[in-house]
Structure 1
Amino acid sequence: MARPKEFEVNEVLDKAIQLFWAQGYEKTSMQELVDFMGIHRRSIYDTFGDKHALFMKSLERYEAKQTQKINFMVERQKSVKELIRAMFESTLRNEGEPLGCFIVNSGVELGVLDPEVAHLVEESYSKTEELLAKLILEGQQTGEIKTNLEPKAISHYLMNAWLGLRTLVKTRTDQQKLTDIIDTTLAILD
């Protein structure tokens, strides 16, 4: 008879996210995962599979949590421009999390080498670009954003800028510089 799990799956998965996010896939050993997650090696294999499967489940959970966070922001904001700004500014507040973005970090580290990671990262980026295009169109319809902008092209531009910001925040501590980058990027919408 199998023993019942003595841990909550999402709690230990969140710990795996933190470790992979801080160190990357290659630099994270199974022993570090065992120690950091606080569960036995056998439990990791039985619940998640091998290290790669655990990494993919971690990426999927992170992406789902980010989507939930953005959806919450969408529900709370009244202004499209304020919402897009809030999305960019959320990159500057890490609130106890590693710097940057786990999806971006993973794409940079493994995107060329691992088709499964590349696919997940590309899907995440595409979903965000679709949301940005929808928001830009909505802002144009309400008169908040210039109508001479092509929503899809601007969504690509904003996504590129946001990816750059999520990379730069890992090495730049000058908050004013980061805020200036956001201001300059979003000025295109005026």
Structure 2
Amino acid sequence: MARPREFSESAVLDAAVAQFRVHGYADTSTEQLCTVAGVRRSSLYNAFGSKDELFIRALEHYLSDTGGRQEDALSDEDLSGAERLDAVMGLILGEEDDAARHGHAAGCMVVNSRMAPDLVDQDERIGQLLDRGLAHQTSLLIQAVDVGRRDGSLKAELPPRETALTIVSLISGIRVLAQAGTGPEDLRQIANLTLSGLKTA
């Protein structure tokens, strides 16, 4: 009879995400992953096969988790279009606030992966995951912008797709600035300044 696993795969994925999103793939060693996950190297390899496979699984987990929370905010029918954009930015800024209290930036697996072209070239699945994640996020933002244009909370002349991509770039920019040491209050001001230009009031 097979021995029961000594750890929760979900917990290991959470720990791997926390490491990869801050340090990226190249600067995260297997030893670091074992330490943060609290498992032995043999257990890690038995469950995931390799660091590469763990990264793929962690990226899937990250996109599902962050994408799900953003979808909840952007699809909330009790909120206006502008409030939906505020809510999704609140998620991002909240993560950065929490991370800053622990002495670092929240990081982002998507930004780190996009900025490492060799990583994307290494495994086509990474690019496919990133592309699907971006397409889903953009679609949700387009819908929220359309809602805001109809309910009057966002400017009627806003082009939905370009506005959605502006918000994607804002989110990515906030992640990069946080990694560069920009503080939470400045990040909040940047987000508010950008979003205020989209709103009617």
Provide the TM-score with structure 2 as the length reference.
0.84
SS at match of 2:144: helix
Q: Which of the residues 157, 168, 193 maps onto 1:184? A: 193
Letter in 1 for 2:5: K
Question: Aligned in 2, Cα 1:76/1:184: closer, same or farther, shift over 3 Å?
Answer: same
Q: Which of the residues 161, 169, 172 maps onto 1:160? A: 169
Question: Aligned in 2, Cα 1:85/1:172: closer, same or farther, shift over 3 Å?
Answer: farther
Question: Aligned in 2, Cα 1:113/1:49: closer, same or farther, shift over 3 Å?
Answer: same
Confirm or deny that 1:92 pairs with 2:88.
Answer: no
Alignment of 1:36-51 (within 5 A): 36-51=36-51
* Cα deviation, residue 174, structure 1: 3.4
Q: 2:113–2:120: 8 Å Cα contact kept in structure 1?
A: no
* Cα deviation, residue 93, structure 1: 2.3
Q: Residues 109-143 of structure 1, C-alpha deviation per residue, up to 9 Å, x if partnerless?
A: 34554333222222212211111111111111222
Q: 2:80–2:147: 8 Å Cα contact kept in structure 1?
A: no
SS at match of 1:22: helix
Q: 1:21–1:102: 8 Å Cα contact kept in structure 2?
A: yes
Please give the alpha-carbon distance, in whole angstroms, between the structure 1 residues aligned to 2:54 and 2:172. 24
Confirm or deny that 1:175 pairs with 2:184.
Answer: yes
Letter in 2 for 1:104: V
Letter in 2 for 1:149: L
Question: Aligned in 2, Cα 1:172/1:76: closer, same or farther, shift over 3 Å?
Answer: farther
Confirm or deny that 1:104 pairs with 2:111.
Answer: yes
Please give the alpha-carbon distance, in whole angstroms, between the structure 2 residues aligned to 1:15 and 1:35. 9
Letter in 2 for 1:89: G
RMSD: 2.1
SS at match of 2:107: coil
Structure 1 unaligned runs (5+)? none
Question: Aligned in 2, Cα 1:16/1:174: closer, same or farther, shift over 3 Å?
Answer: closer
Please give the alpha-carbon distance, in whole angstroms, between the structure 1 residues aligned to 2:77 and 2:152. 20
Q: 2:22–2:107: 8 Å Cα contact kept in structure 1?
A: no
Alignment coverage as a number of residue pairs: 190
* Cα deviation, residue 78, structure 1: 1.5
Of 95-104 and 145-154, deviating more is 95-104
Structure 2 unaligned runs (5+)? none
Q: Residues 57-113 of structure 1, C-alpha deviation per residue, up to 9 Å, x if partnerless?
A: 001101111022123324385122122122123222223485232221222134554
Letter in 1 for 2:177: L
Of 112-121 and 146-155, deviating more is 112-121
